[in-house]
Amino acid sequence: MYILGIETSCDETAAAVIKGDRGNIKVLSNVVSSQIDIHKKYGGVVPEVAAREHVTQILPVIHETLETAGIQAPLSRDARSGGGAGGGGIQAIAVTIGPGLITSLIVGIETAKVLSYAWDIPVIGINHIEGHIYANFVGRRQPACAGRSSDFPALILTVSGGHTMLVLIENHGKYKTIGETRDDAAGEAFDKAASLLNLGYPGGPIISKYAEKYKLQITNPTCADRRQSAITLPRPMLDKGGFDFSFSGLKTALLYAIQQDKNFKKRVPEYAHEFQQAIIDVLIHKTIQAAQKYNIKTVMLSGGVAANTELRKQLKSAVKKQIPKSQFLIPDLKYTTDNAAMIATAGYYHALWKDYTDWQKLKVNCNLEL
Ligand code: KG4
Ligand code: ZN
């Protein structure tokens, strides 16, 4: 089955085509048009600007993804004489319906509705967080339809610009959120910290670059200055709040620390390193505790912050050391930040369950819960 995925929840206009065959998913094309360069100068995503960009990008991106996948441009209702589906190989459209920015989401949803009507194929509304979860199943064979995969029960740490969640997965489509952030999301914390350190937007990749620079300095045997950092930031709610997180106090602690440090401009890599490690320590500690409590078979990571090299490395090693019987899955780097291959992959499972929505009834829900 061929599925077209569409994702426009924030500042990436994305479309992808996947082929799902008896639980095996292959990505045929995955096109992402990022607006990062546009929003950089404002220091964050401006919703109105994002929506206007989605409007201009959505059709070229869908066109490119169909062409790359080698799927013929489907026929419109009018051009078809004998009736029947006009999807030209595409059998369903999976589109993000929330959570996210309402004006951005609407562009993807209205496009999906028009295509569903014109091609006469069903549409599937996908929760963006579920999409991030399914980034881990891209290219991973699962028992088709019925039957429980040996991957379950699984625990997934989803860390993005808008969310920080620990979710139990009993089986495909069966989720239970056991922890989430009470204030800032992990990605949001990275973005705010980068702004305090005058490093630009988005913060995650740039903080991680500076942190790496500092790590290389202290681990290089030929480097004269290898002293361990004297900067210490808190690890918020490490042993309280159950599996919930809180990162806004960490950002405030960073602000106070740099305000009191006349030399802070020279120590940016050191601050970046400590800030990143504080977030990683909390994320890993709670993930391992939850995995132990719920006898988890698979630990997974997803969301934009899952692109962080140190988080990937340190969580993998913590799983191996502390819960060696569990396996660890992480998505390919290109499926960590927002993309439509993950939306189409989640769509494949919904298609197996025949969980379609009439295009007339498809609605945006910017606060949609998992
Ligand atoms: O999942 P995503 O693309 O969009 C949302 O659904 O929010 O995540 C974007 C977030 C941003 O906050 C960005 O700073 C963060 O992911 N991010 C990273 C890295 N790459 C992106 N955070 C830490 N390290 C990275 N390498
Ligand atoms: Zn996302």
Shortest-distance atom of ligand 1 to CA 276: 23
* 127: in domain: yes
Q: What is the pLDDT of residue 223?
A: 67
* 144: in domain: no
Shortest-distance atom of ligand 1 to CA 202: 14
How many Å is the Cα radius of gyration of the chain? Answer: 22
Q: How far apart are CA 262 and CA 112, in angstroms?
A: 54
* Residue 190 near ligand 1, beta carbon < 6 Å: yes
Measure 10 CA to ligand 2 centroid, in angstroms. Answer: 8
* 227: in domain: yes
* Residue 307 near ligand 1, beta carbon < 6 Å: yes
CATH number, domain of 53, equals 3.30.420.40
Q: Domains in the chain: how many in total?
A: 2
Query: What is the torsional sign of CA 27, 31, 37, 38?
Result: negative
* Residue 203 near ligand 1, beta carbon < 6 Å: yes
Q: What is the pLDDT of residue 141?
A: 75
Which ligand ends up closest to the CA of 7?
2
* Residue 131 near ligand 1, beta carbon < 6 Å: no
Instruction: Say whether both 31 and 127 belong to one domain.
Output: yes
Say if residues 85 and 121 touch (Cβ distance below 8 Å): yes
pTM for this prediction: 0.94
Mean pLDDT (10-residue bins), the chain, 370 residues: 96 96 92 94 93 98 96 68 61 97 98 95 97 92 67 96 96 96 97 96 96 89 69 95 97 97 93 98 98 97 97 98 97 97 97 95 96
Which ligand ends up closest to the CA of 161?
1
Instruction: Say whether both 120 and 10 belong to one domain.
Output: yes
* 370: in domain: no
Q: How far apart are CA 320 and CA 326, in angstroms?
A: 8
Domain with 326 in it: 154-330
Q: What is the pLDDT of residue 220?
A: 76
Instruction: Say whether both 262 and 240 belong to one domain.
Output: yes
* Residue 305 near ligand 1, beta carbon < 6 Å: yes
Measure 355 CA to ligand 1 centroid, in angstroms. Answer: 30
Alpha carbon separation from 360 to 92, 108, 308 (Å, rounded)? 15, 15, 40
- Ligand 1 pocket test, pick from 129, 160, 310, 312 with the greatest ligand atom count within 8 Å of Cβ, gives 160
Shortest-distance atom of ligand 1 to CA 303: 1
Instruction: Say whether both 349 and 255 belong to one domain.
Output: no
* 145: in domain: no
* Residue 164 near ligand 1, beta carbon < 6 Å: no
Measure 187 CA to ligand 1 centroid, in angstroms. Answer: 5
- Ligand 1 pocket test, pick from 275, 305, 312, 314 with the greatest ligand atom count within 8 Å of Cβ, gives 305
* 280: in domain: yes
Instruction: Say whether both 132 and 163 belong to one domain.
Output: no
Shortest-distance atom of ligand 1 to CA 188: 12
- Ligand 1 pocket test, pick from 32, 35, 337, 342 with the greatest ligand atom count within 8 Å of Cβ, gives 337
